Homo-oligomer: A and B are copies of this chain.
Amino acid sequence: MTDQQEQGTEPCRPSKNDRKSVPEATVARLALYLRVLNGLAEQGTQTVSSEALAIAAGVNSAKLRKDLSHLGSYGTRGVGYEVLILIEQLSQALGLTQHRAVALVGVGNLGQALAGYGGFSSRGFRVVALFDADPQRIGQRVAGLVVRHIDDLPAVVEAESVSIGVIATPAGAAQHVCDQLVTAGVTSILNFAPVVLSVPEAVDVRKVDLAVELQILSFHEQRKSELPVESEPELASNGFQGVG
């Protein structure tokens, strides 16, 4: 992200494919496409056009084609894309071919919900360990795992090759937990605590702040109630589907 590099056909190294700088916005959507494609595959669909897939994913078809073009040419002109092949390519591009171990820190309300969330395991991620600082919680069983003390983190990260840490602690503990994760060697963090984390630049942090999401909606609510009505009452497509 700090450095960016050339894309397009460079002369001497067409070896694997031209995996170049896939735009950040595209990466987020690749995950979305993959989800939709898995749904199509389950119901037995073999081929999709960019148009159909785009509609299912709620995006513009040109955008979809451009997104996919960053990975290479896996479509057939006049036909579309083979669902299974595209799934394969997207999985590969997103690094999902190797299963990734996840460590979750903070086994409160949210942490327990996350630990039990099926969506993780069903899509290539495995929560391998739960941590907490509260002695009360240590040793408890949650979602089939025993809650361990945070001091065990380095050992577990090492033993299980944890690559992603999830922080679901209260705000006050988050930075310290983050530091511990980083020290233990975790280089990707998903943060649910409402704080801005400081990390070395080699570490990626994504945050999910539920209150912020609501506030963004609140902003638009206010807008709607200010300017009365103006558009025809046409029932149509879908909203802007935020996040990213």
Chain A positions near chain B (C-beta within 8 angstroms): 1-3, 19, 22, 24, 27-28, 30-32, 34-36, 56-58, 93-96, 100, 102, 109-110, 112-114, 116-117, 119-120, 122-125, 163-164, 187-190, 194, 196-224, 226, 230-231, 234-244
Contacts and interface: CB of A to CB of B under 8 A. Distances in A.
A179 to B, nearest CB: 11
Number of copies: 2
Nearest to A188: B217
A119 B218 contact: no
A112 B93 CA distance: 35
Given A56-B196, A110-B113, A198-B238, A243 B164 contact: no
Contacts of A220: 1, 188, 204
A96 B208 CA distance: 20
B34 A205 contact: no
18 contacts: A31-B211, A35-B211, A35-B212, A56-B196, A93-B219, A94-B222, A96-B218, A125-B211, A187-B221, A188-B218, A188-B221, A196-B241, A200-B235, A201-B231, A201-B234, A205-B242, A206-B216, A207-B241
A117 B213 CA distance: 14
A35 B238 CA distance: 30
Nearest to A170: B118
Given A200-B236, A202-B231, A205-B242, A221 B95 contact: yes
A228 B199 CA distance: 20
Contacts of A125: 211, 214, 218
B190 A213 contact: yes
Counting chain B CB atoms within 10 Å of each CB, the highest count among A1, A215, A219 belongs to A215
